[in-house]
Amino acid sequence: MSTVADIRVAIESLWPQAGAESWDAPGLVCGNPSASVSRVMFMVDATESSIRDALEWGADLIVTHHPLLMRGVTTVAEDLYKGSLLTQLIRANCALIAVHTNGDSVSTGTSVVLARTIGVEPRATITQNALGGGMGIIGDTAPVSLGDFARRIASALPNTAGGVRVSGEFSRTISSVSLCAGAGDSLLSDPAVAQTDVYVTSDLRHHPASEFREQAAHGRDTALIDISHWAAEWLWLDTAARELGGILPSLEISVSEIRTDPWDFAVIN
């Protein structure tokens, strides 16, 4: 029987905390390190519905991609959702561990999985860290129109209300791709992104996207594709579950099917 401590050791070997960004908060959120674990569920976000699903399944430990306690809190009162979730987990003797940017920056991380799922072969990371990994991916795909590439992405991702948004000419041929699973507008200013035909990421805001496209017109005219943050990172969970199971084969490991994308529908005129 594995313990929470055993799983922390395995997680550190797969996704070292030294590879996390300085602002991040991965690691054990709650739980007794000596507690026994037989069932583990992976999910992107800890929400009321995803935690309920995990506890009903009988999870002893939950691994989320996004840290529940990313920013400081001053209360865990049960009339607030974070307090409610933590209370439910503690009462159920279910531990919670977050694997965030330390899971992004490894060679089988979120951006690599996204790239290969949409037919892009990675050849470099956009940024580099001390462990030899980094954030985002630069890669290549067989020449394809921007519109058909966006359709390929849409068919590869789980359905969401936001779908896939594109800034660029539909018929333009693209072959070099930069991407970052999750919110990647911080990488818009990286010179490596401007040297590709299209940048794929999530949560693009009006001003950064508009300014990037205006500047791109003076160079390679790099297109933008904006996709669901949850959908892009959910793809990685199966890979992460297999990797943990390879180290601790006695564990029963599941991936949550609960959609934690915050948007329910879109109205387009």
Instruction: Please check whether residues 169 and 93 belong to one and the same domain.
Output: no
CATH number at residue 128: 3.40.1390.30
In a domain, 255, yes or no: no
Distance in angstroms (rounded) separating the CA atoms of residues 239 and 234: 10
Instruction: Please check whether residues 28 and 122 belong to one and the same domain.
Output: no
* Domain interval for residue 99: 2-103
71 pLDDT more than 90: no
Instruction: Please check whether residues 73 and 27 belong to one and the same domain.
Output: yes
For 200-248, the pLDDT digits (tens) are 999 999 999 999 999 999 999 999 999 999 999 999 999 999 999 999 9
Please report the sign of the dihedral spanned by the C-alpha atoms of residue 62, residue 68, residue 72, residue 78: negative
In a domain, 155, yes or no: yes
In a domain, 74, yes or no: yes
Q: How far is CA 256 from CA 16, 98, 192, in A?
A: 23, 15, 34
In a domain, 146, yes or no: yes
Locate 31 and state its tokens: 């739980």
Distance in angstroms (rounded) separating the CA atoms of residues 262 and 161: 9
Instruction: Please check whether residues 93 and 110 belong to one and the same domain.
Output: no
- The CA angle 10-14-17, to the nearest 5 degrees, is 95
In a domain, 246, yes or no: no
pLDDT at site 120: 98
Instruction: Please check whether residues 97 and 159 belong to one and the same domain.
Output: no
Asked if residues 106 and 137 have their Cβ atoms less than 8 Å apart, the reply is no
Instruction: Please check whether residues 74 and 13 belong to one and the same domain.
Output: yes
* Tokens 């904006």 sit on residue: 226
Calculate the average pLDDT of the chain. 97
In a domain, 250, yes or no: no
Overall number of domains in the chain = 2
Locate 16 and state its tokens: 């070292």
In a domain, 10, yes or no: yes
Instruction: Please check whether residues 167 and 204 belong to one and the same domain.
Output: yes
For 103-121, the pLDDT digits (tens) are 999 999 999 999 999 999 9
pLDDT grade for 1, boundaries at 50, 70 and 90: confident
* Tokens 């991916």 sit on residue: 137
Instruction: Please check whether residues 122 and 219 belong to one and the same domain.
Output: yes
Instruction: Please check whether residues 91 and 181 belong to one and the same domain.
Output: no
Please report the sign of the dihedral spanned by the C-alpha atoms of residue 103, residue 105, residue 108, residue 112: positive
Distance in angstroms (rounded) separating the CA atoms of residues 215 and 130: 31
269 pLDDT more than 90: no
Instruction: Please check whether residues 79 and 111 belong to one and the same domain.
Output: no
Q: Global pTM?
A: 0.96
In a domain, 34, yes or no: yes
The last residue of a domain, from among 103, 129, 157? 103
